[in-house]
Chain A
Amino acid sequence: MTAPTVAVDSIIHCYGARPALSISRLVFEGGSTAVLGPNGSGKSTLLRLLATVAELQEGTIRVDGLDPTDQLQRTAIRRRIGYVAQHDGFPTRMRVDAFCDYVGALKEIDSARLRRRWTTWALDQVGLSSVAHDRIGSLSGGMQRRLSIAQALLGNPDLLILDEPLAGLDAERRAEIANLFVTLAESVTIVCATHHAEELATLCHRVVVVDGGRPVFVGTPGSLAARAEGRVWETTTAVPAAVSRAIGPGRFRCVAHAVPAGESPVPPSVADGYLAVVHP
């Protein structure tokens, strides 16, 4: 089975009267795609639609040609999906391995022995083997996040939809999950909403920037960085007219329409490109 292609066409999604997402055309074709955007920009809505968790209101989504509005085809899509929701939801009194066993059963892994093998493997991938028999409620927030990733890996999904997978993880664990992410992206399609532009988006094959419910950039991390070419400089004070962010004691990195006279442009990063796109 090859990594699936996900095509999104003419989607409009609203919460009540409030429009949340409007996409005319977007294709996720193998490899990894980072979805970047400010809070409330529609990232999670897009991922929930791709994961078939939210119901399509208008437009079409196709996963290798399969239509999620058709019950049989939706089930076929779900057999290929591993989904990490934005917010972790766990039965906190359940043991870690029992939870994976439960999710394995939800994913139609009928053999108890096979579920145990998947559980062992998935927990090992995210560094949770040592707490397999602990109650979920006793885990830290970061460990619960890794458990979310572990459950998504159960059942050999070839379409991973990850909403903020690095949220709440320490630097070491972020690096481990990023390594796993890169390895998996060789053989599966990954769509990942993230605020970690440098740590995760840089590792992706493609980046989609969503702002105000619309995609405002689609391209490679390099081309996103290039959007800020000649617009980035470093200084010792925050510049009100630019998007400034502290990068060290007394040091700020600024992105604006142009580098002011007297300042020297610096090579832009993916994060600079993102800021240049959402603050044109």
Chain B
Amino acid sequence: MTIQDFDAAMTRAAGRPRYLGGAGAAAADPRRLAANLAAIDAEIDAPAPGVLARILSRLGVGEGTVPLVTATPALRRSWIVAVTVAVLFALSAANSNTGDGVDRIVVFLTLAPLIPLVGVALAFGPRVDPTHDVALAAPIDGFRLFLIRALTVVGASTLALVIVSLLVPSGGVHRVAWLLPAVAATTVTMALSTRFDPRVAAATVAVGWLVIVTVAVSATDAAATFGATMQVLSLFVTGGGAVGLFRRRRRLDVMSDR
């Protein structure tokens, strides 16, 4: 997309050639001049970019990507509410447990990986995104848009969870044992979102995760449940989810009629 394309549209709007011609001298179309003046006004009147947009620009995020990131919270403010409620619930549950330190952390470690799923479930899809059809008819790569949105919400919720982790009263190194399971659950949810509605995918993964943790905790202690085996398994699941997501990424370009 270039200035020439823009000029072509100006010409089209005027319904006549851009230059009126005559004796070899090209006179500018008044409509085009008006459009240019309007463009200058737009530059002068343009609201200052928001804080997030400025931060992203300083981090080197491209001009074409910044609106896609900054629009995500505006599109789905509901996920912020959902994440906040979930984080508060996890924190409350972790602090209200009367067991020893490791037991307290189990509640948090069980719930924390589910929180990014809420964001993914509400960030993309025909039933939760009011602009889904507009985005679908646009040339942007559906996989890229999905990744941008998912990374935006997962990044925000992960940041919130890291802060919450520091507030959990005990648990030592286990306080961050939710991270790899969260990445695995999110990746699998994203992969399943290429086939199912993202909300269904997130709910399925959440139920699966809760079943696994419940069975594991009943069979062993918390330290073992979220220990090295769980972390290694999470890495494998993440790899499998990533492969599945990549292989089915093109479905994200046409996921309208499901």
A156–B9 touching, CB < 8 Å: yes
A-B contact pairs, 12 of them (CB 8 A): A55-B257, A79-B139, A81-B137, A93-B74, A102-B131, A103-B134, A106-B145, A108-B140, A117-B39, A121-B9, A121-B13, A156-B8
Which one, B12, B15, B129, B137, contacts A53 given CB within 8 A?
A: B137
Q: Mark A42-83, 1 if CB is under 8 A from B, else 0.
A: 000000100111110000000000000001001110110101
Q: Is the interface of B mostly helix, strand, loop or mixed?
A: helix
Binding site for B on A (CB under 8 A): 15, 48, 51-55, 71, 74-76, 78-79, 81, 83, 85, 89-91, 93-95, 97-98, 101-121, 124-125, 129, 132-133, 151, 153, 155-156, 161, 180, 183-184, 186-188
B10–A102 touching, CB < 8 Å: no
A116–B67 touching, CB < 8 Å: no
State which size class the interface on B falls in.
35 or more
Bound complex: CA of A187 vs CA of B66, how far in Å?
32
A83–B250 touching, CB < 8 Å: no
Bound complex: CA of A187 vs CA of B5, how far in Å?
14
- How far is the CB of A56 from the nearest CB of chain B, in Å? 9
A107–B39 touching, CB < 8 Å: no
Instruction: Decide yes or no whether B85 CB sits under 8 A from chain A.
Output: no
Q: Considering the complex of A and B, which 3 residue pairs feature the smallest CB-CB distances, nearest first? A: A110-B64, A89-B130, A106-B138
Among B8, B38, B75, B136, residue most surrounded by chain A Cβ atoms (within 10 Å): B136
B140–A102 touching, CB < 8 Å: no
Given A106-B135, A183-B15, A187-B12, CB of A120 within 8 Å of CB of B71: no
Instruction: Decide yes or no whether B219 CB sits under 8 A from chain A.
Output: no
For B254, list chain A residues within 8 Å (CB).
52, 55
Bound complex: CA of A102 vs CA of B67, how far in Å?
5
Within 8 A of A (CB), among B105-134: 129-134
Binding site for A on B (CB under 8 A): 1-3, 5-6, 8-10, 12-13, 15, 35, 38-39, 41-43, 45-47, 62-68, 71, 74-75, 77, 129-141, 145, 250, 253-254, 256-257
Bound complex: CA of A97 vs CA of B57, how far in Å?
19
For B64, list chain A residues within 8 Å (CB).
105, 108-111
Q: Count how many pairs of residues, one from A and one from B, have CB atoms less than 8 Å apart in the complex.
A: 154
Which one, A53, A109, A124, A183, contacts B136 given CB within 8 A?
A: A53
A89–B134 touching, CB < 8 Å: yes
For A101, list chain B residues within 8 Å (CB).
67
For B132, list chain A residues within 8 Å (CB).
89
Bound complex: CA of A78 vs CA of B65, how far in Å?
18
B6–A53 touching, CB < 8 Å: no
B1–A156 touching, CB < 8 Å: yes
- How far is the CB of B145 from the nearest CB of chain A, in Å? 7
- How far is the CB of B32 from the nearest CB of chain A, in Å? 10
B256–A110 touching, CB < 8 Å: no
B131–A91 touching, CB < 8 Å: yes
Which one, B45, B71, B74, B134, contacts A151 given CB within 8 A?
A: B134
Bound complex: CA of A118 vs CA of B39, how far in Å?
8
- How far is the CB of A206 from the nearest CB of chain B, in Å? 20
For B138, list chain A residues within 8 Å (CB).
78, 103, 106-108
B130–A105 touching, CB < 8 Å: no
For B67, list chain A residues within 8 Å (CB).
98, 101-102, 104-105, 115
Bound complex: CA of A114 vs CA of B5, how far in Å?
10
For A186, list chain B residues within 8 Å (CB).
12, 15
Q: Nearest residue in B to A133 (C-beta to C-beta)?
A: B47
Given A91-B75, A113-B43, A156-B9, CB of A106 within 8 Å of CB of B140: yes
A156–B6 touching, CB < 8 Å: yes
Bound complex: CA of A237 vs CA of B64, how far in Å?
61
Give me 19 other A-B pairs in contact (C-beta within 8 A), A89-B132, A91-B74 excluded. Answer: A48-B256, A53-B136, A74-B253, A85-B134, A89-B129, A89-B133, A98-B74, A101-B67, A105-B140, A108-B64, A114-B6, A116-B42, A119-B42, A120-B39, A129-B38, A155-B1, A156-B5, A180-B13, A183-B13
